Amino acid sequence: MPAVSKGDGMRGLAVFISDIRNCKSKEAEIKRINKELANIRSKFKGDKALDGYSKKKYVCKLLFIFLLGHDIDFGHMEAVNLLSSNKYTEKQIGYLFISVLVNSNSELIRLINNAIKNDLASRNPTFMCLALHCIANVGSREMGEAFAADIPRILVAGDSMDSVKQSAALCLLRLYKASPDLVPMGEWTARVVHLLNDQHMGVVTAAVSLITCLCKKNPDDFKTCISLAVSRLSRIVSSASTDLQDYTYYFVPAPWLSVKLLRLLQCYPPPEDAAVKGRLVECLETVLNKAQEPPKSKKVQHSNAKNAILFETISLIIHYDSEPNLLVRACNQLGQFLQHRETNLRYLALESMCTLASSEFSHEAVKTHIDTVINALKTERDVSVRQRAADLLYAMCDRSNAKQIVSEMLRYLETADYAIREEIVLKVAILAEKYAVDYSWYVDTILNLIRIAGDYVSEEVWYRVLQIVTNRDDVQGYAAKTVFEALQAPACHENMVKVGGYILGEFGNLIAGDPRSSPPVQFSLLHSKFHLCSVATRALLLSTYIKFINLFPETKATIQGVLRAGSQLRNADVELQQRAVEYLTLSSVASTDVLATVLEEMPPFPERESSILAKLKRKKGPGAGSALDDGRRDPSSNDINGGVEPTPSTVSTPSPSADLLGLRAAPPPAAAPATSGAGNLLVDVFSDGPAAQPSLGPTPEEAFLSELEPPAPESPMALLADPAPAADPGPEDIGPPIPEADELLNKFVCKNNGVLFENQLLQIGVKSEFRQNLGRMYLFYGNKTSVQFQNFSPTVVHPGDLQTQLAVQTKRVAAQVDGGAQVQQVLNIECLRDFLTPPLLSVRFRYGGAPQSLTLKLPVTINKFFQPTEMAAQDFFQRWKQLSLPQQEAQKIFKANHPMDAEVTKAKLLGFGSALLDNVDPNPENFVGAGIIQTKALQVGCLLRLEPNAQAQMYRLTLRTSKEPVSRHLCELLAQQF
Annotated binding site: 11-12, 43, 53, 57-61
What sign results for the dihedral spanned by CA atoms 74, 80, 82, 88?
positive
Residues contacting 513, CB < 8 A, separation 6+: none
CA atoms within 13 A on the CB side of 976: 14
Q: How far apart are CA 468 and CA 443, in angstroms?
A: 9
Residue 844: strand, helix, or coil: strand
CA distances 361 to 34, 267, 329, 408, 481, Å, are: 71, 22, 11, 26, 43
Of 415, 413, 381, the residue nearest 394 (C-alpha): 413
| Neighbouring C-beta atoms of residue 727, cutoff 10 Å | 7
Burial of 591 (0-12, 13-18, 19+ CB in 10 A): exposed
Residues contacting 807, CB < 8 A, separation 6+: 829, 830, 832
Of 927, 935, 934, 932, the residue nearest 958 (C-alpha): 927
Q: How far apart are CA 752 and CA 771, in angstroms?
A: 13
Q: How far apart are CA 520 and CA 551, in angstroms?
A: 12
Q: How far apart are CA 165 and CA 660, in angstroms?
A: 60
Q: How far apart are CA 754 and CA 684, in angstroms?
A: 10
CA distances 595 to 224, 560, 591, 892, Å, are: 75, 14, 6, 57
The one-character DSSP state at 539 is H
Ranges assigned E (strand) in 784-865: 789-797, 806-810, 822-831, 840-847, 850-857
DSSP H helices in 531-640: 535-551, 556-564, 566-569, 574-589, 592-598, 611-620, 626-629
* Crossing angle (nearest 10°) for helices 11-22 and 52-67: 20
Q: Beta 753-758 vs 762-771: how paired, if at all?
A: antiparallel
Q: Answer for the pair 826, 815: CB distance below 8 angstroms, yes or no.
A: no
Residue 785: strand, helix, or coil: coil
Q: Answer for the pair 50, 5: CB distance below 8 angstroms, yes or no.
A: no
> Which 3-state string (H, E, C) describes 315-356?
HHHHHHCCCHHHHHHHHHHHHHHCCCCCHHHHHHHHHHHHHH
Burial of 885 (0-12, 13-18, 19+ CB in 10 A): exposed
> Which 3-state string (H, E, C) describes 542-555?
HHHHHHHHHHCHHH
Q: How far apart are CA 538 and CA 550, in angstroms?
A: 19
Q: How far apart are CA 268 and CA 924, in angstroms?
A: 25
Angle 701-707-711 (CA atoms, 0-180°, nearest 5)?
145
What sign results for the dihedral spanned by CA atoms 405, 406, 410, 411?
negative
Q: How far apart are CA 395 and CA 811, in angstroms?
A: 52
Stated as kind and residue range, the H or E segment containing 949 is strand 939-949
Amino acid at residue number 550: N
Burial of 850 (0-12, 13-18, 19+ CB in 10 A): exposed
